[in-house]
Chain A
Amino acid sequence: MLIKQISIFIENKSGRLAEITKLFGEKGVNILALSIADTTDFGILRLIVSDADKAEKAVKESGLTAKVTEVIGVSISHTPGGLAKALSVLHQNGISIEYMYAFATRSEQDAMVILRVKDNFAAIKHLTDAGISILRKEDLAELF
């Protein structure tokens, strides 16, 4: 039920993102979603890719510091209030979100959200109980 996310530490230097994405291109790694959290000096680039292990290996070989983390992918209805419903389920159950980012898909009915919480399994249980669908690895594969 969990999705692998790769997190890469990058300094705030011009050209870094171009280099990393170029590297993925060369290795045949497709990027489905990404987000960047940044401070004045550094940033953390988080990516959902077609093959997280391959991406991690490529990144480490190039000398960057990277790490794979497991996150939750949620499919929500692409209508006003759709995201709010999922988030209030988590809030009511006392689960706080460390960070999240959304991404568009080819589907017109659904939107996808990546969530990072402390307790993945509790979050999945409460979301499922509320009828919200969780993305599986296989679902992701279809998106590429």
Chain B
Amino acid sequence: MRLYWDQKNECMSRDRIHDIQSKRLVSLVKRVYTNVPYYREKMHAKGILPEDITSIEDIDLLPFTTKQDLRETYPFGLFASPMNEIVRVHASSGTTGKQTVVGYTQKDITLWSELMARCFSMTGADKSSVIQVSYGYGLFTGGLGAHYGAERIGAATVPTSSGNTQRQINIMKDFGVTVLCCTPSYALYLAEVIEESGISLDELKLKAGVFGAEPWTENMRSEIERRLNIKAYDIYGLSEIMGPGVSMDCEYKNGLHIWEDHFYPEIINSDTGERLPANTDGELVFTTLTKEGFPLIRYRTRDVSSLSYEKCGCGRTVARMAKPSGRTDDMLIIRGVNVFPSQIESVLLEIGETSPHYMIIIDRVGTLDTIEIQVELTVDMLSDEVKRLEDTENKIRRGIESTLGLAAKVTLVESKTIQRSEGKAVRVIDKRKL
């Protein structure tokens, strides 16, 4: 069983990592300064020129990039390659209906495939494996990201995408799938349906699962491992940085290995922007050292994590990040979809002249996340006819579904029943026990 895909780069010395990062940062900064006016202006505003950056230590001098910057440059303003070199575009939902758009050159796609290949190899997968990709295929990076990595290691790749659970299970059984990729909550749901269908685990060849795109706990991991009789691995990524495969944990379950030769991680104090030492909790920040199409400098992920630089028992020397423990903003991750309360508010604003009071209630029923929006009925919305009220409910539901791509339950409630807050409005009740 081969556990490394690229041993040289996964296990190099810390000095060598430092040298590579320094060299790559210098050329990255030159490139974005030349090709991306937005970065050039931000650097000028800070009084920085490319020649001021001589090693990875100088990264402190560079400005952060935030989701707001991505929104302001929508759609292609931060692309560092001309469109005729872009071969793929992905997008993820944004806070105000504007999506975050990312572009890849052929070299970026090859790199992504390589890094996903490193991830799959960590599970012991190789060309004899059958990998079922149950992440959604489409603008979301999950499906295609995992797909290219699975093909890269030469595995038989089964692009089932998401949905149609019974067919997923039939395929898993009939095709002899050995590695499953999906969200952890969907893995638990699959386990449940497998148990209900009376399929014995002996009929499956499943050995490992690569799970991510939403928060999950060690308890969930143990449950998935027990119920599917597999090893469950935690994969991390975000479309802005690349997609899945920015980091993943190994069989030591000792934090997620960041592919540091391509992504430079930092942990900062999210209020002051100050860099924090190793093993301290703070906001995770990434710089993409080698990406061509859509490079990012010091991108604030809003995920809370910490970094550790000791060599892992698996032999890898790259930094490890702790499983993200929360967010520094109000973003929710529901069934793998990024949701901001402001998106729901914008839908409600279209219903009446003023936005009604509302509450977002997230729960996990069985293994799947549910979202309910309670909306206080205003006099404007009231009718003496039931069908009109149901029309209003449906209008909100359709609005939310088209904005978020998630089916939500909409419930009209009596006025003044949603608790008022004196300070910052509480818009979300997250009942999921993670």
Contact = CB atoms under 8 A, between A and B. Distances in A.
A41 B411 contact: yes
A11 B384 contact: no
Nearest to A68: B384
Interface stretch (B104-112, B339-347, B414-422): B414-422
Given A5-B384, A69-B384, A63 B415 contact: yes
A67 B414 contact: no
A11 B382 contact: no
Interface in B382-424: 382-386, 389-390, 411-417
Interface string A47-86: 0000000000000000111110100000000000000000
Interface string A92-120: 00000011000000000000000010000
Contacts of B377: 9, 65
Nearest to B416: A63
B415 A44 contact: no
Contacts of B162: none
A7 B389 contact: no
Contacts of B338: none
Contacts of B92: none
B384 A116 contact: yes
B155 to A, nearest CB: 47
A63 B415 CA distance: 7
B414 A11 contact: yes
B382 A98 contact: no
Contacts of B412: 9, 41-42
Contacts of B379: 65-67
A66 B384 CA distance: 9
B241 to A, nearest CB: 42
A65 B382 contact: yes
A94 B179 CA distance: 65
A44 B386 contact: yes
A66 B413 CA distance: 13
Interface string A21-45: 0000000000000000111011010
Contacts of A46: 384
B356 to A, nearest CB: 10
Contacts of B411: 41-42
A65 B415 contact: yes
Contacts of B382: 7, 9, 65-67
A64 B390 CA distance: 19
**Which among B385, B390, B417 has the greatest number of chain A C-beta atoms within 10 A?**
B385
Contacts of B386: 37-39, 44
B99 interface: no
A10 interface: yes
A66 B416 CA distance: 13
A64 B414 CA distance: 7
Contacts of A66: 379, 382
B229 interface: no
Contact of A98 (B378, B385, B414): B385
A9 B389 CA distance: 10
A7 B384 contact: yes
A46 B384 CA distance: 7
A7 B314 CA distance: 69
A46 B385 CA distance: 10
Contacts of A99: 385
Given A41-B412, A65-B379, A67-B379, A11 B417 contact: yes
A67 B389 CA distance: 13
Nearest to B381: A65
**Which among A9, A66, A99 has the greatest number of chain B C-beta atoms within 10 A?**
A9
A40 B386 CA distance: 11
A99 B378 CA distance: 22
Contacts of A63: 414-416
A46 B378 CA distance: 17
Interface in B358-395: 377-379, 382-386, 389-390
A10 to B, nearest CB: 7
A65 B417 CA distance: 11
29 contacts: A7-B382, A7-B384, A9-B377, A9-B412, A9-B414, A10-B414, A11-B413, A11-B417, A41-B411, A42-B389, A42-B412, A42-B413, A44-B383, A44-B384, A44-B386, A46-B384, A63-B414, A63-B416, A64-B414, A65-B378, A65-B379, A65-B414, A65-B415, A66-B379, A66-B382, A67-B379, A67-B384, A99-B385, A116-B384
Given A41-B412, A64-B415, A65-B382, 14 more contacts: A5-B384, A7-B382, A9-B377, A9-B382, A37-B385, A41-B411, A44-B384, A44-B385, A46-B384, A63-B414, A65-B379, A65-B415, A67-B379, A67-B382
6 A-B pairs with least C-beta separation: A7-B384, A63-B416, A37-B386, A69-B384, A67-B382, A65-B415
